[in-house]
Structure 1
Amino acid sequence: MLLNQQELENKEQWTEADIRVPTFDRGAVKRQTEMAPTWLHLGPGNIFRAFPAMLMQKLLDTNQVDTGIVVAEGYDYEIVDIMKQQNDNLSLLVTLKTDGNIEKTVVGSIMESLKIDRESKEDYQRLGAIFENKTLQMVSFTITEKGYSLTDSRGNYGQQIVEDFTNGPEVAESYIGKVAALLHCRFLAGQLPIAFVSMDNMSHNGDVLKSAIHTFASNWQENGLVTPEFVEYVNNPEKVSFPWSMIDKITPRPDETVAQMLRKDGFEEVDYKITHKNTYTAAFVNAEETEYLVIEDAFPNGRPPLDKVGVIFTDRNTVNQVETMKVTTCLNPIHTALAIFGCLLGYERISEEMKNPLLKKLAEKIGYQ
């Protein structure tokens, strides 16, 4: 079986392979999303397809929302070509459960995939229209920490960034520059409210994103390319919010062991591709079962009801405490310790290391004591 909308219509073959498929009407949801988009996500990589996209699917399957997600890629455009042309924006999530079993689900909550690329004029115009739509509630990000960086290791702005500061939003070419330019479109459409939600794994991620966007806005104002009101708009949390978040889900590269299991089930698209920009991508994503997403509840235009599928919306201080717990106690230090001692002992997988009673005891001592 292949992963596309036509193959999805043959539900019997997916049932025989024990693969769950979306139960909602993708055609109807796609039409509604085109008219009234609510969620745009930038950076449709593995963690997004395995976690936030799956959350939206749960809401769609239970008729709690009637629009899906629009995704956009601003760095590796090949990803969009693969998603759109080969897989009709579908992906296969393989969840590795703690009891050793696996759960397979076709994720179909992505309705459109676009390139944040001025040379792809149709895509860029569509993004402009989405940003100008009153229904848009959230723009989320999983673009990795380096995606927000405007400077080199010495603190100097990159050449493309400097050119964007000088040339303005109409011709901005850097990743964050184009995002800021699209936000300027929303400002011109009536200072419409929006939440910019970084879901990247870095401390106080919302502030990092706000700083990058504000840097563009303030430089454009200084150069007379935007009005002071645009800077005020970016700085007004009742118009543009930048919530903090903490995300936790392990989504490694496509695994050959998982690929072999899928081949036995009759799933044909198991080979991963390495793009020209060295991104590893495949039609399937393998991920662990455990997942957490905690977000500061600051959404000036409303938000999808993700709290009904496990997302915790709370205050900023609680997000900070949860992140501190993850980074200093219950996840990162345990993984680091297991990685170091596991490598010294010749292990290649943390799951195998945890079968060693001494390493298991080490992990428990770090976590609990």
Structure 2
Amino acid sequence: MNRSQLSRQNLSLLPASVRRPHHDHGRHAPGLVHFGPGAFFRAHQAAYVDDLLAHDPRWGIAAVALRSSGVRDALAAQDWLYTLALMDEQPQTRVIGALAGVTSARDDAATVRALLAAPTTHVVTLTVTEKGYCLAPDGGLDTRHPDIEHDLQSTAEPVSVIGWLVEGFRLRRAAGLPAFTVISCDNLVANGHKLRRAVVELARAKDPALADWIEGEARFPCTMVDSITPATDDALRARVTNALGLEDAWPVQREAFSQWVIEDCFAGPRPPLDQVGVTFTADVGAYERAKLRLLNGPHSALAYIGLLIGHETVADAMADPMVSGFVTRLMREDIAPTLTPTPGLDLEAYGEAVRRRFRNPAIRHMLSQIAWDGSQKLPYRFLGTIQDRLAAGTLIDRLVLPIAAWMHFIRRRSRENATIVDPLAERLAGIGRACTGTAREDVDRFLALDAVFPPGLVSNTRFRAALTWGYAALEVPQAVLGSL
């Protein structure tokens, strides 16, 4: 059956169960320019702005795709509307109308320059992934990156987002306009600081006076964003078509939980996003640490311990009372005490929200996927917490179990000749094959990984003893989890 397509003209055809935009589209020129209109942006930041537009219509979004024209082509015929499906025990569907348009920088550089130079543009946001920042290992700009090499030679046609930001600032300075605020929404620690450094370094290589102006006038707030956003697939398209009674060329989906924390540091007008759930703070780092330790750490704990017991997904593991009880105590008694409270951040409420997310049956998050890249994740997710607890003279018995469970995971995968997804895969496989099941010897093999375990921790006798105990105890994981 041929169905009509989602569009502004067809909004009246939507059933009452579908939430629709409650603002006058096109009443004002967009106040935000966004680079990278992928699924996460459209499911996350654009949804906040859609809520805001009902109260303050100045903040519509002009989106820019650096290379691809796919989103532009899919949404143009829909008047830039698309569907957001919220995945929860009680699913919700809403139509987002925050986009004023999508431009392909590759096809229409003149429009991008006009948007960046518009007096109505006050904020530029980014979701371009870490690769899009073209950073060198030291955190500065990688001047050998092909895109940066191009942008050092050309002003009129940048190809990197860093190049486009520098060009936008150049245009505004030349026109006597104030600098805009640039907000990174990518998952990099201290993302605003890293973005500012990259932009200033490219500007200084091209025009030192422009670099000085950017340093003095522009602002690059740090942020933290969070919401699980699975990729769009045919199952989502079918659900959305059924819910709307209309065709949507590119719907998106995410879990119901969403968080956006922004450093309160703006060059000009600040969108009143706090009215729609965004947190403005002077200390984004406190939220980043809470996410890293209270969300990412327990996520890895569920992965390795859950797989050891025989669970497949996060929700499956959390449905096991023994596992969920262990995770709750780990968060409350071992991790939360290492975090410093900050105004607006209730650690107990945040922890409970994390556990609700873990239990969400609508999100089928595979433990095997979370288990990837353990050598890179565990030092940040657990070792800092363990060091803090050791310094405080407190027990670390629960905290070492996820590390020990990772060792068992590597040992098992190696014994089965199964693929290990990790930058250290070859070395880990060798260690796993050498393991005999003797706790002290196996733990020593893993602790020799200086890329994972810092020397101060390796030489700590309390840590070694606790980890060796945990490794031996996890030969019968149900018994140790129950006791802890």
TM-score range, shorter chain: 0.7 to 0.9
Q: For residues 112-143 of structure 1, what are the alpha-carbon distances to aligned partners after superposition, in whole Å with 9 as ceiling and x for unaligned?
A: 111122xx2xx321221222222211001111
Q: Where in structure 2 are the equivalents of 1:191-202 lying within 5 Å? A: 191-202=177-188
Distance 1:93 1:198 in 2: 22
Alignment correspondent of 2:19: 20
**1:244 equivalenced with 2:222 (yes/no):** yes
Paired residue type of 1:308? Q
Paired residue type of 1:241? R
What is the aligned counterpart of 2:214 among 225, 228, 234?
234
Distance 1:21 1:124 in 2: 32
Alignment correspondent of 2:252: 285
CA RMSD of aligned residues (A): 2.5
Higher strand share: 1
Q: For residues 74-133 of structure 1, what are the alpha-carbon distances to aligned partners after superposition, in whole Å with 9 as ceiling and x for unaligned?
A: 143323222324x33111111123xx101110001111111122xx2xx32122122222
Paired residue type of 1:5? S
Distance 1:52 1:174 in 2: 22
Q: Kindly tell me: are residues 2 and 187 of structure 1, through their superposed partners in 2, closer, same or farther at Cα, counting changes over 3 Å?
A: farther
Alignment correspondent of 2:40: 47
Report how far residue 146 of structure 1 moved.
Answer: 1.3
Report how far residue 6 of structure 1 moved.
Answer: 4.8
Report how far residue 182 of structure 1 moved.
Answer: 2.5
Alignment correspondent of 1:360: 324
1:20·1:106 contact (CA, 8 Å) conserved in 2? Answer: yes
Alignment correspondent of 1:273: none
Alignment correspondent of 1:223: none
Alignment correspondent of 1:114: 103
Alignment correspondent of 2:366: none
Q: For residues 267-308 of structure 1, what are the alpha-carbon distances to aligned partners after superposition, in whole Å with 9 as ceiling and x for unaligned?
A: 4647xxxxxxxxxxx622221111211111111211211011
Distance 2:171 2:317 in 1: 51
1:3·1:91 contact (CA, 8 Å) conserved in 2? Answer: no
Paired positions, count = 329
Q: Kindly tell me: are residues 268 and 191 of structure 1, through their superposed partners in 2, closer, same or farther at Cα, counting changes over 3 Å?
A: closer
Q: Kindly tell me: are residues 125 and 285 of structure 1, through their superposed partners in 2, closer, same or farther at Cα, counting changes over 3 Å?
A: same
Report how far residue 362 of structure 1 moved.
Answer: 3.3
Q: Where in structure 2 are the equivalents of 1:166-245 lying within 5 Å? A: 167-220=153-206, 226=207, 228-236=208-216, 239-245=217-223
Distance 1:327 1:164 in 2: 35
Give 3-state SS (helix, strand or coil) of 1:338's partner.
helix
Q: TM-score, normalised by structure 2?
A: 0.63
Q: Kindly tell me: are residues 164 and 59 of structure 1, through their superposed partners in 2, closer, same or farther at Cα, counting changes over 3 Å?
A: closer
Bigger Cα Rg: 2
1:247·1:292 contact (CA, 8 Å) conserved in 2? Answer: yes
150-159 vs 296-305, which deviates more? Answer: 150-159
Distance 1:288 1:340 in 2: 23
Q: Kindly tell me: are residues 359 and 311 of structure 1, through their superposed partners in 2, closer, same or farther at Cα, counting changes over 3 Å?
A: same
Give 3-state SS (helix, strand or coil) of 2:57's partner.
coil
Give 3-state SS (helix, strand or coil) of 2:232's partner.
coil
Distance 2:322 2:4 in 1: 44
Distance 1:261 1:216 in 2: 45
Alignment correspondent of 2:409: none
Give 3-state SS (helix, strand or coil) of 2:62's partner.
strand
2:65·2:104 contact (CA, 8 Å) conserved in 1? Answer: yes
Alignment correspondent of 1:349: 313
Q: Kindly tell me: are residues 101 and 256 of structure 1, through their superposed partners in 2, closer, same or farther at Cα, counting changes over 3 Å?
A: farther
Q: Kindly tell me: are residues 261 and 345 of structure 1, through their superposed partners in 2, closer, same or farther at Cα, counting changes over 3 Å?
A: farther
**1:80 equivalenced with 2:68 (yes/no):** no
Report how far residue 25 of structure 1 moved.
Answer: 2.6
Alignment correspondent of 2:279: 312
Distance 1:135 1:246 in 2: 26
1:3·1:90 contact (CA, 8 Å) conserved in 2? Answer: no
Distance 1:141 1:96 in 2: 25
2:31·2:59 contact (CA, 8 Å) conserved in 1? Answer: yes
What is the aligned counterpart of 2:116 among 131, 146, 149?
131
Report how far residue 49 of structure 1 moved.
Answer: 1.2
Q: Kindly tell me: are residues 346 and 196 of structure 1, through their superposed partners in 2, closer, same or farther at Cα, counting changes over 3 Å?
A: same
Paired residue type of 1:14? L
Q: Kindly tell me: are residues 294 and 2 of structure 1, through their superposed partners in 2, closer, same or farther at Cα, counting changes over 3 Å?
A: farther
Task: Give unpaired runs (5+ residues) of structure 2.
Answer: 334-484
Distance 1:253 1:105 in 2: 17
Alignment correspondent of 1:323: 288
State the percentage of identical aligned residues.
Answer: 28
Report how far residue 248 of structure 1 moved.
Answer: 1.3
Report how far residue 338 of structure 1 moved.
Answer: 2.2
2:46·2:96 contact (CA, 8 Å) conserved in 1? Answer: yes
Distance 1:352 1:82 in 2: 36
Paired residue type of 2:330? I
Paired residue type of 2:83? L
Paired residue type of 1:231? A
2:134·2:148 contact (CA, 8 Å) conserved in 1? Answer: no
What is the aligned counterpart of 1:5 among 2, 7, 23?
7
Distance 2:143 2:215 in 1: 24
Give 3-state SS (helix, strand or coil) of 1:104's partner.
strand
Alignment correspondent of 2:31: 38
Higher helix share: 2
Paired residue type of 2:252? V
Alignment correspondent of 2:304: 340
Q: Kindly tell me: are residues 138 and 285 of structure 1, through their superposed partners in 2, closer, same or farther at Cα, counting changes over 3 Å?
A: same
Give 3-state SS (helix, strand or coil) of 2:14's partner.
helix
Q: Kindly tell me: are residues 196 and 265 of structure 1, through their superposed partners in 2, closer, same or farther at Cα, counting changes over 3 Å?
A: closer
Q: Kindly tell me: are residues 335 and 3 of structure 1, through their superposed partners in 2, closer, same or farther at Cα, counting changes over 3 Å?
A: farther
Q: TM-score, normalised by structure 1?
A: 0.81
